[in-house]
Amino acid sequence: MVGNSMNPTLFEPMILEITRPDRYCPGDVVVFSDRNKTRTTVHRIVKCTPSGFITRGDNNLTNDQPIIQGDILGKVIAAYRGEKRYRVSEGKYGYWIHRYLQTRKKLFPYFIKMFTFWYHLLSGSGIFIHLLPKKFRPRIIQYQNRQAHLFIGILMVGRYDVRRRQWIIFRPWRIFIDEKTLPQHNS
């Protein structure tokens, strides 16, 4: 399986375990091909209608074109990444997981907007900078061509953008870094 339309339920690359049951219901993750049999898709059934099944990826906000039972190659019951087997939720439980993921995807932008003000306020205050133990204080590693990366422990938390001549600090790490103390590179 490749692609990100079923994240976080399925990640690429995974090998899928498929069965062919007699019937399918909302919440089942199915593998189906398009009418021309040129493309195979893995999505979840979200609704059963008289004209067929409506499917959608857990990471998508729009439905696919309706499919019929003849288009379905099978139902995904598990996925493998390496030696580890992950059970795939199906039926009512799978449907409610899908609804939760869809709601989360729709609300996340509003959640981010709501907390952006507080995040910037806290990051500018410097309150959390002194809470980090010394071994986790930010350090700069400089590479050739003036490329610099900022690390906290072993995590890269920022980089210097040479074109814009400014530090790009990844969220949520800005609350632990005083950008005024970081060196500015001159061209």
187 confidence band (pLDDT: 50, 70, 90): very low
Q: Which residues contact 105 (CB under 8 A, 6 or more apart)?
A: 59, 61
Tens digits of residue pLDDT in 124-171: 676 777 777 777 777 777 766 667 888 887 788 888 888 888 888 887
DSSP-assigned beta bridge partners for residue 16 = 79
* Assigned token pair, 137: 């204080």
Q: Which amino acid is at 153?
A: G
pTM across the whole model: 0.61
Q: Contact 9/29 with Cβ under 8 angstroms?
A: yes
Tens digits of residue pLDDT in 78-96: 999 888 899 999 999 999 9
Q: Contact 119/175 with Cβ under 8 angstroms?
A: yes
Instruction: Residue 29: name the closest of 60, 64, 55, 65 by CA.
Output: 55
Tens digits of residue pLDDT in 46-56: 999 998 999 99
DSSP 22: S
Where do the domains of the chain lie?
Answer: 15-102, 129-181
DSSP 67: B
